[in-house]
């Protein structure tokens, strides 16, 4: 039994999923279904789209969902993969719910297209931003955000992605971020002791995701997801919002809605997964971002397999046979 992990924004890359489309009828069917759902050529976007095309949030999110769903369908139908847990990073959570039968694929495709558009439209360009804070633990990052809001008078500013130990992304007002870069000093925030070194890396993003500035997008997604049919999942999904495992339709829906403006608790989610024994994982989709994060979270506990080539899938098939 495997945990299937679904990557989020930042994992997209030109050509993603093409080897699946070329080799497996079920993947071809999945990309066709995705294109039909949106009246948009998702194949062309994923296989031929430029880096810039794929970086547009309204394109990124459906492209990732289509690729991740094609991947998990191939894994399960062609390579004997059985799943006991699922989790997705931000937009990846939609792929997790599709894979557990909680939501249908075509409505999910339409929902993530709307989600991308709503998140892009929620904040005027230049008014918000995101910064990776390196070397601090979660409590220290939360203290940093509280200090900046209190001293600068600008808000919001809060943790957006608890990615791995020492790599937490914060999100919010660009004015607060600018004040922080110019004025925040570790010795002022943590006086009287060994102050941690503040290292901040601005991220090239189109909007301040996963913070209170996303409430207009969250409200739009509440409308969309309330009108969608949700079922109880057949496998637990460890959700971003609370880092807990859920199967009940009502909980899955509400947590999916609230994660638009809530932080992605990935590090905490993986600790939950480790306690549950779901440490043999497959990154079901493009890239190796989640594998990299899990190496930082606990390289000894987790084994993460990738799905970027036929050779990767053949390796998974060999391991699946030993677990059957």
* Cβ-based neighbour number of residue 101 at 10 Å: 12
Give me the residue spans of the domains in the chain: 2-122+212-323, 128-202
DSSP tag of 264: B
- pLDDT over 90 at 153, yes or no: yes
Residue 204's pLDDT band (cuts 50, 70, 90): confident
| pLDDT at 193 exceeding the cut of 80 | no
- How much of the chain exceeds pLDDT 90, in percent? 84
Q: How far apart are CA 207 and CA 191, in angstroms?
A: 33
Could you report the per-residue pLDDT of 90-108, keeping only the tens digit for each? Answer: 999 999 999 999 999 999 9
Does residue 2 sit in helix, strand or coil?
Answer: strand
Per residue in 259-269, pLDDT (tens digit) is 999 999 999 99
128-202 CATH, one of 1.10.287.130, 2.60.120.330, 3.90.1300.10, 3.30.70.250 = 3.30.70.250
Task: List, by residue number, the catalytic residues.
Answer: 90, 210
pLDDT at 81: 93
Domain 2-122+212-323, CATH: 3.40.366.10
- Please enumerate in sequence order all residues whose Cβ is within 8 A of that of 313, keeping only pairs 6 or more positions apart, or say none: 74, 75, 78, 79, 307
Lowest mean pLDDT among 18-27, 35-44, 191-200, 245-254: 191-200
Q: Are 190 and 196 in contact (CB under 8 A)?
A: yes
Averaged pLDDT, 152-175? 95
Share of the chain above pLDDT 70, in %: 99
**Section 216-228 average pLDDT:** 97
Residues 168, 133: Cα–Cα separation, whole Å:
5
CATH topology identical between 2-122+212-323 and 128-202: no
Q: What is the mean pLDDT of residues 251-258?
A: 98
Question: Is the per-residue pLDDT at 324 higher than 70?
Answer: no
How confident is residue 251, by pLDDT bands cut at 50, 70 and 90?
A: very high
Res 292: pLDDT: 95
Cis peptide before 13 (omega within 30 of 0): no
Q: Is the pLDDT of residue 192 over 80?
A: no
Determine phi and psi for 304, rounding to 5 degrees.
-120, 125
């Amino acid at each position: 039994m495997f945990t299937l992990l679904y990557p989020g924004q930042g994992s997209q890359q030109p050509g993603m999923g093409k080897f699946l489309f070329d080799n497996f009828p079920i993947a071809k069917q999945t990309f066709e279904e995705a294109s039909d759902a949106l009246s948009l050529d998702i194949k062309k976007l994923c296989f031929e789209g430029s880096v810039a095309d794929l970086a547009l949030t309204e394109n990124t999110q459906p492209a990732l969902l289509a690729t991740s769903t094609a991947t998990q369908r191939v894994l399960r139908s062609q390579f004997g993969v059985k799943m006991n847990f699922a989790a997705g990073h931000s937009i990846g959570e939609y792929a997790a719910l599709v894979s557990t039968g909680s939501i249908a694929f075509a409505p999910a495709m339409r929902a993530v297209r709307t989600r991308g558009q709503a998140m892009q439209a929620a904040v005027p360009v230049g008014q918000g931003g995101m910064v990776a804070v390196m070397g601090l633990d979660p409590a220290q990052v939360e203290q940093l955000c509280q200090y900046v809001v209190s001293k600068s008078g600008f808000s919001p500013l809060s943790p957006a992605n608890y990615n791995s130990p020492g790599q937490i992304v914060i999100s919010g007002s660009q004015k607060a971020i600018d004040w922080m870069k110019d004025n925040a000093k570790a010795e002022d925030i943590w006086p009287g002791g060994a102050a941690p070194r503040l290292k901040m890396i601005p991220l090239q993003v189109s909007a301040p995701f996963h913070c209170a500035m996303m409430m207009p997008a969250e409200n739009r997604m509440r409308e969309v997801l309330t009108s969608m049919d949700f079922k109880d999942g057949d496998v637990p999904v460890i959700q971003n919002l609370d880092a807990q495992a859920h199967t009940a339709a009502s909980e899955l829906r509400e947590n999916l809605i609230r994660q638009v403006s809530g932080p992605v608790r990935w590090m905490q989610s993986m600790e939950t997964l480790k306690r549950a024994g779901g440490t043999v994982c497959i990154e079901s989709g493009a890239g190796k971002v989640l594998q990299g994060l899990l190496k930082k979270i606990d390289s000894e506990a987790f084994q993460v397999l990738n799905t970027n080539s036929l050779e990767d899938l053949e390796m998974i098939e060999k391991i699946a046979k030993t677990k059957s």
